[in-house]
Amino acid sequence: MLRVLQVTESSFSGEAVGSMGSAETATTCSLATLWAQKYVDKLRAQAALGELPGAQLADKVKGSLRFASSQAWAKTERLLAAEIPKQRLDPDLIDPWQIAEDSRDLFEAAAESCGEGLSPARFSVQIAPLCGRLRARYSERDPRVLGFLSMQFHYTGQMVLQALSPQERGLFHPYLKVMDDHLYMPLQRMYEGAAAHAGDTFSAPLAAVQELLPLVTSVAESICAEVAQRFPGYRCESGPLTDLEVRISSIRDVEMFQVYLGLCVLEGSVAAVQQELFPLCVMLYPPLKVEWKLVRQMLELLDEALRFQLTPASYTVLLPYLRAVQSMFSLEVFPESDPIWSHHPDVMRFMGTAQNLLQELMGQGAI
């Protein structure tokens, strides 16, 4: 039986924790451990398949990167090129060569860790600071640029897996999932947000997030299964909701919404959703043919799941932020008459509405 990884301070780079005190480091490591536990099941699957991946698999992944990267950018460009003028996105912010290079660097790091026998759980902790820096750099001037990196990485991963045998895919996929999570989700920022609560004798926000994290994947899986049942004939850009690749991406997106929700709780603000998640969804979902009714259904099911699975205290802490997120994707913002909404959003108008609703629900001053 594999033992759950216990993340220690030495697991982090000096840059990630050097400025933290012992309490902050312990809190940050605690959340990182909760997230890393997601990959222990993947380790068990690897053990069932046989030996851990070695240098041969690592070389095969690296050897496929050049072709995979070029094909991935072609798909990313086809998907998102039309969105640049629609979204009023400055094209000078998008550097295809840098995006491809940063994506390749991540795959090479994963291949090396895989070849060295580093577990996906430990790789999750190791790669978090690098992914956090990439997210910060790409979202510094316009968070929507992060969408180009994420899609490039996603399509590169699909191409790389196609070049592997079924057994090799089973061995490498957990490392791919680790990086996918850290690029799509603000995990490093969440760890840093948790560290800000380290000095408190008791932190209700931190306790709520610690209770939420172990449930994220199971909640996402059940929600996606329910949505697929409620929309049996629905097809997005990649296929029906029951398609394996679509299901994997859908589960990741529901996980992403939950992580952003946890980040809002820790920061006491909906700024992360306002500045990153909402604009990214507005840019990516229309070309991916994800209608807003699916997002609203997902958020409704998420509310039900959290109310049922969390303690009343934790649910009460999360609820105002969940309501604010629901308001951003409401019928008022995205009417049913325009399901594939592809016009530039009046972001400030709707963000102000969400902020006012959050203040009203919390019954306190500005956050």
Running DSSP on this structure, what letter comes out for residue 213?
G
Q: Are strands 235-236 and 239-240 parallel, antiparallel or unpaired?
A: antiparallel
Does the pLDDT value for residue 9 go beyond 60?
no
Does the pLDDT value for residue 16 go beyond 60?
no
**What are the residue ranges of CATH 1.10.490.20 in the chain?**
203-367
State pLDDT tens for residues 113-157: 999 989 998 999 889 889 989 999 999 999 999 999 999 999 999
Q: How many CA atoms lie within 13 A of 24 on its CB side?
A: 13
pTM of the model: 0.80
Pick the range with the lowest mean pLDDT from 54-68, 178-192, 275-289, 341-355. Answer: 341-355
pLDDT of residue 188: 86
**Range 203-367 classified under CATH 1.10.490.20:** yes
Cα 346–chain centre separation: 25
Fold of the 13-199 domain: Globin-like (1.10.490)
State pLDDT tens for residues 346-362: 444 444 555 555 556 55
Which residue in the block uniquely carries the two structure tokens 């998102």? 80
What is the rounded distance in angstroms from the CA atom of residue 173 to the CA atom of residue 38?
13
What is the rounded distance in angstroms from the CA atom of residue 317 to the CA atom of residue 197?
15
**Which of 210, 236, 362 is CA-nearest to residue 289?**
236
Determine phi and psi for 286, rounding to 5 degrees. -60, -50
